[in-house]
Amino acid sequence: MRQEVLVHWRDAVDFHLHADTAPPMEPDEARTWLDAQFTALECEPLRALGKVLTADKVLRITEAAGPQRLGDAQWAADFARAVQGAIGKPMVRIDVPAMTLTY
């Protein structure tokens, strides 16, 4: 099955992150990886609910990572595997300007 994370960035810059060469991370591993990136990139919660939803965490990490990190092959592959492991879907689309995540 095709594994892909599509990221739409500002100014029509799109990233197609393929994770076909390695399976998605296990859910616990994916959440740990995303938590570490959320902290390392100094992300702020999207909503003031008291807890950060996985989808919101992915959106903030994508926004903070920017095109530079998304262009780094190793980071992008790890990110795609973590997103798929945490979300549990093989195709995920992240739209940064709209701050939406669909699958």
Show me where the domains of the chain are located: 4-102
Q: Which residue has the tokens 């992150």?
A: 17
Task: Give the tens place of pLDDT for each residue, 12-71.
Answer: 678 888 766 788 899 999 999 999 999 999 999 887 777 788 999 999 999 999 999 999
The pLDDT confidence band at residue 75, using thresholds 50, 70 and 90, is very high
Tokens, residue 12: 């029509």
Residues 6+ apart with CB under 8 A from 32: none
Q: Which residue has the tokens 């595997």?
A: 81
The pLDDT confidence band at residue 78, using thresholds 50, 70 and 90, is very high
| Per-residue pLDDT at 57 | 95
Tokens, residue 61: 């990490």
CB atoms within 10 A of CB 74: 7
Phi, psi of 84 (to 5 degrees): -65, -40
